[in-house]
Amino acid sequence: MKIKDSLVGDIVIIELAGKIVSGDDITLLHGKTHYYLDLSKKKFGFDMEKVEWSNSLGLGALIAVLSAVTRADGKMVLANITSIRNLMTITRLLDVFEAYDSRAEAVKAVS
């Protein structure tokens, strides 16, 4: 998995690409999130447009990130979940995450 992060105003945009599975990539994802939380950044948009696939460990990592952001009184939304929408529907995670069809919609929702 590749991770690219940037700021749009006070919103942290984290772009994920490839497969969200386990290991060092998930550790990096947690690290990036906590880095921004430590800087008092509490608004997160995860752009999933380039995600190819995820397993249960990858979904668990996203849940852990959501929990960390929520505990910090922040907000996290997902954008462009096309490739993992079926998986998120079957696991009922669309009831847990706010998901938007575009990055622009996600940024607007977290603003």
Residues 53-104 pLDDT 10s? 999 889 999 999 999 999 999 999 999 999 999 999 999 999 999 999 999 9
User: In this model, does residue 17 exceed pLDDT 90?
Assistant: yes
Number of domains within the chain: 1
Domain, as residue range, for 13: 2-110
Terminal alpha carbon distance of the chain: 27
The neighbouring-strand residues paired with 13 are 6, 45
Query: pTM of the entire structure?
Result: 0.93
Kindly give, in sequence order, each residue whose CB lies less than 8 Å from that of residue 35, ignoring residues fewer than 6 positions away. Answer: none
Whichever domain contains 43, its CATH number is 3.30.750.24
